[in-house]
Structures are given as C-alpha cells and as structure tokens.
Amino acid sequence: MRSKMMGCRVEHQSTHGSVLGGKPNHCVIYPPKSSIVAEELERRNNDWLNSPSSSSSSSSSGTYRFVRTKVASDLMVQVGDFSFHLHKLAMVSKSGYLNRLVFAKRSEGHGHNGGSLKIVLDDLPGGTNTFESIVNFCYGFKVDVTATSIAPLYCAANFLEMSDDLHQGNLISKTEAFLSFAIFSSWKDTFKVLKSCESVSPWSKDLLIVKQCSDAIAWKASTDPKAFTLGQNSNGNLNVGESSDTWWFQDVSTLRIDHFIQVIESIKRKGVKPELVGSCIAHWTTKWFSGTTFVFDDPTIPKHLTQKLQRITIESLINMLPAEKNSVSCNFLLYLVKLGLKIQVNSELLSKLETRIASMLEQCCAQDLLVKNYGDKDTTYDVGIVIRVVKAYVLLALKNSRARLCIVGRLIDGYLTLIARDINLTLIDFKLLVDALPINARSCDNNLYRAIDMYLKAHPSLMEEERASVCKAMEYHRLSEDARQHAMKNGRLPLKIITEFMLLEQVKMARSISASKSNINPRTTTQVIMKMNNKKYLEKGFIAPQKEIMLIRKEVENMKMQLNQLQMCKLKLQKQVQRSCIK
C-alpha cells in the first residue's frame, strides 16, 4: 500500500511475527526546497560537524559533520558530544527555537566579525541521530522514517518549533501525519512507536503520543483481532496463544510500568472485562518479576534508585487492580503481598490488600494459598503471608456465622496438609497458623489431625513437649471414630495425648453401656473412675508409662467386646418381643 501525506510517502509492508520482528512501515519525507544548496552531509574526524567542503578539520575532540556547500559555515550546533557545522539561513528558516537563539546570540555581540555562532542543544529529544535527520530535512535531503524513529523525530521537531507558521510543509506536520498512520494502521507498529517513546520522555507524554498509542492498543484489544493487521505465524494464523481473549497479553507485557499503567487505564475505559484486566496485570508482573527479583536491571542506575523503582512499580500494580469482586485471583494477590513485604511498600496499601484477600478466603481452595519461596533455607511456600491474611480475616469475621468460619477452618486445615511435610517449616509458624483461627472455626479435626501427623513424621527430632504443644488444638470429640482409633495407636503422638484419648474413649463406652440400661460390672465402673482420676494426674504433668498404655488399650478392647455382646442381646430381645406381638 502506498499513500501520500503532505509530502510524506508511506510504504506499508505486510507484517509477520511478534512485535519485535518483521519489517516496519516505512515513510520517506520529502522536504520543501532549501535556501542553501548542499551536495552532501560529510563526516570527519570520527565526529559530527557541518561545514563547507573547503573548511579545515576542527582541532577539538568529538565527532564532526560537514555539509558540502559553496558557502562557508556560520553556525555550529553541538548535540551531546557531537558537533554540526551548519548555516544559519538553512536552519533558522525552519526552526523558531534556533531562530530565537541565533537572534539572542547576535544581540550579545557573538558572530559579528565573520565568526560562526555556537549553540548547544543538550536536551534535544532523540539526540544526535534525530538531529542528523533534521539537518537533512533543513538542507532539502529526503528523510527515511520508520515506526521506531518517528516519535523521537516528532518530539524533536516540536522542541525546535518547526511548524508550518515558519515554512509550509514543515517537519511537525509531516511527522505528525505518519505518526498517526503508524499508530492506528498496525498493531506491531503501535508497540514500536510506544517503545521508542521511552527515550524521549516526558516529551512523548506531553505531546500525547503515549496516550494515542494506549488508546489504539485498548481499542484493538477490545476488538476482534481479525479486524486489523496483527503479527501472524508461518501458517497465517494469529500468533496469540491459546485463548482468543488473551491474545494481547504477551505484547502488552513488554511495556515498561508507566506505559503499561496508561494502557491498562485506556483498556478499562473501553469496558474490557475486569477479569481480563486482572489477568493481564498478573501476566505483566510474572514477566517483570522473576520470583521476587525485578527483571529490570540497569547497572548505570544506583541501587537505591532501583529499589525505589521497584517499590513504585509494586504500589502502582496494587493501585491499578480492578476493584470488582473475583477480578483478580487470590494467589496473585498473595504474591503481591509477598513482593510488597520484601520491597517495603506503603503499609496502608499493604493492609488494604491483605483485607481484600481476607474477604476472598471463603471462596478459595487450599492450592490458592500456595505462593513459592525461592531461598535455599526457606520453606517451599511462604507461610508468613498466609498467617497475616488469616489474622486479617479473623478481625473481619468477628460477626460472621459459625458456618462461614468453618469454611475457612477447613481451608486452613487443608493448606496445613499441603505444607506439613516441609522440613524447613518451623514449629512456631505451624502453631501460629493452627492457632490463628478461633476455637469455633473447626467442626471436625480430621484434617487438622492429618496435618499434625504429617508434620510430626517430617520432624522426628521434636521433643515430647514440642509435640504436645502441636497437638494442643486437636480435640477428641471433633475427630471421627476412625481418626480416634488411629490416634490411639499412633506412636508419633505424645504419650499424654494418647493416654487422654484412651481415657475419653473409656468414658464414652461407659456412657454407652449405661445408656443401654444393661447390667454393668461394678469392677468395670470402678476402673473407669480410677482412670478418670488418673487423667487428673496427667493434667498435673504426670505421664503414664508405656505398660499402662498397653493395659488401657486392652481394657478398651474388653469394653468393646462387652458392648457388642450387649448390643447382640438387645437385638435378640427386640426380635422376641416382635414375635410375641404377632402371635
């Protein structure tokens, strides 16, 4: 496709591949006629200076660019370390900014005796390469422009005030035409323009280039991707991943944080689903943070500034999260908490994030709470952030019904079973998580018992007192019959807990026997009372020896047999009564 825009010829080539691949749209800008006829732009002494062909080389260090003309140079423009020997007439006729500087210099008495004026442009957007294109334009040479170079050239043209008020068909209007074309014609070129804006901030922001690119990306992200030019693979299919809704994630995740923020704001205004926006933010974060390390690593930036950039980045990500319920996964929010704690973000912001996660716990599963650690001596998963969130939940859930509390209780017990085998999990963290919930948050301790048993098995070196402290939250009456039987035979549990469970089992069986209204052996009743007294001694710190444990187990088995016999007798009597009634 070829089109002409105010002296700018655009050659559009088909694009293939990712944002960074393929040939960009290409524009050739044909400037108006120059008042100075130049043969060519020449480089000498490894520096940039512009002077007539008869000029001698400058003795100063740097790169020089010379313009071959029949008129001697009367203007030297320095851009960074590079110098250009030029002509006032060619440059000031198209640049209002240079015109004012030259007038001011002459008013101060510079350049009156045939000497050249010197102007320093340290803040020129785009630097030397961009200024070389401007020099070519001012001297009547054609200028090749691509999607990568158009934004710096447009910013520099505005910096130098190269408007049509000075010269019809000046550089601002010509670059603006191709800039709009590049932004809206091709998805790939939109990102090339936006990436090139990184080197010319804040000019690109003030001139609304970043906003135009962000709006274009948002429009295309909310539109059928087949409606415009996209990167394609060798088969001609869209190179967009598995989901047609998330095809734009990969390209958007290449943007740095300030441009990413603006794109997300534009996407929100376009009405894209909050769930997609949340997923895109998570995708960007995963790409830019490797574990808990910021991928952005520039050795030229001092360490304290890099840390500040990380903190600003995380705070910006938290602030831009969609407010809608279930728009962001609990696992990603926990990951943000982890990053926030490491980088020490604003405490109030972190507290709001923890409260948001706490409000989601009742809809979560145990796997949602698994956030990896990356240190060799750390636990596999970060337990500390889960403890913080559970404590935040308890503060919120003081008025919640017991049923809702039990949902979170089951969640945490399930999470405990997933992390219990970790040999780096400390006793303190395990207990903190077990005890974080109120007593009424558990209606059944089966999962808690399972987690405790797994933890004790993975940590065999724990002392008797430490094992007893782990088991303190587990209660006999909240275990199923199978779990109780397993616990009473579990050698990993402390003797005190095993003995207590056996005594409670005897009491339970004694009550069952009494309830059946059967004759109870006085000796058995006496033994139950004796065992109950033994429990009091245990509570005072006396531990039953192993032999007594075995005797209690035998006694429990005998009582079970007696109970079974009574049940059989009861059934026989019921059958006899039924038969006599029939007769």
Q: Do residues 272 and 281 lie in contact, with contact meaning Cβ atoms separated by under 8 Å? A: no
Same domain, 202 and 100: yes
Same domain, 181 and 214: no
| Contacts for 364 with CB less than 8 Å, ≥ 6 apart | 330, 411
Same domain, 151 and 215: no
Same domain, 197 and 274: no
495 inside domain: no
Same domain, 72 and 203: yes
Same domain, 87 and 131: yes
Same domain, 220 and 294: yes
412 inside domain: no
Smallest CA-to-CA distance from 456 within 432, 487, 411 is with: 487
Last residue of a domain, one of 281, 306, 328: 328
Domain region containing 97: 23-34+62-207
Same domain, 190 and 214: no
Place of tokens 């094992």: 467
Instruction: Quote the pTM value.
Output: 0.76
Same domain, 164 and 313: no
- d(CA 45, CA 52) in angstroms, rounded, equals 15
- d(CA 298, CA 320) in angstroms, rounded, equals 25
134 inside domain: yes
Place of tokens 């408007």: 163
Q: What is the pLDDT along the chain (583 residues), one digit of tens a residue?
A: 344 444 554 444 433 333 333 344 677 776 666 555 555 566 655 444 444 333 333 333 445 555 555 667 788 899 988 888 888 888 999 999 999 999 888 877 665 555 678 899 989 999 999 999 999 999 888 899 999 999 999 999 999 999 999 988 899 999 999 999 999 888 999 999 999 999 998 999 999 999 999 999 999 998 866 555 454 433 334 444 445 788 999 999 999 999 999 999 999 999 999 999 999 999 999 999 876 666 665 556 666 677 888 899 999 999 999 999 889 999 999 999 999 999 899 999 999 999 999 999 999 999 999 999 887 778 999 999 999 999 999 988 877 788 888 999 999 999 999 999 999 999 999 999 999 998 888 889 999 999 999 999 999 999 999 999 999 888 888 999 899 889 888 889 988 888 888 888 777 777 776 666 454 454 455 455 445 545 544 444 444 556 666 766 777 777 777 667 766 776 776 576 566 556 5
Last residue of a domain, one of 275, 293, 328: 328
Last residue of a domain, one of 149, 177, 207: 207
Same domain, 179 and 313: no
360 inside domain: no
402, amino acid identity: R
216 inside domain: yes
Number of domains in the chain: 2
430 inside domain: no
Residue 139 confidence (pLDDT):
87
| Element spanning 76, H or E | strand 75-79
- d(CA 431, CA 465) in angstroms, rounded, equals 13
Q: Which domain CATH number covers 66?
A: 3.30.710.10
Residue 457 confidence (pLDDT):
94
- d(CA 118, CA 105) in angstroms, rounded, equals 9
444 inside domain: no
Same domain, 66 and 100: yes
Q: Do residues 173 and 153 lie in contact, with contact meaning Cβ atoms separated by under 8 Å? A: no
487 inside domain: no
**Directed axis angle between helix 257-269 and helix 209-221, to 10°?**
50
- d(CA 479, CA 294) in angstroms, rounded, equals 47
- d(CA 391, CA 436) in angstroms, rounded, equals 6
Q: What angle do CA 487, 488, 494 make, to 5 degrees?
A: 80
Smallest CA-to-CA distance from 500 within 483, 510, 512, 488 is with: 488
For the chain, the residue count is 583
- d(CA 573, CA 453) in angstroms, rounded, equals 44
Same domain, 303 and 255: yes
DSSP 8-state class, residue 10: E
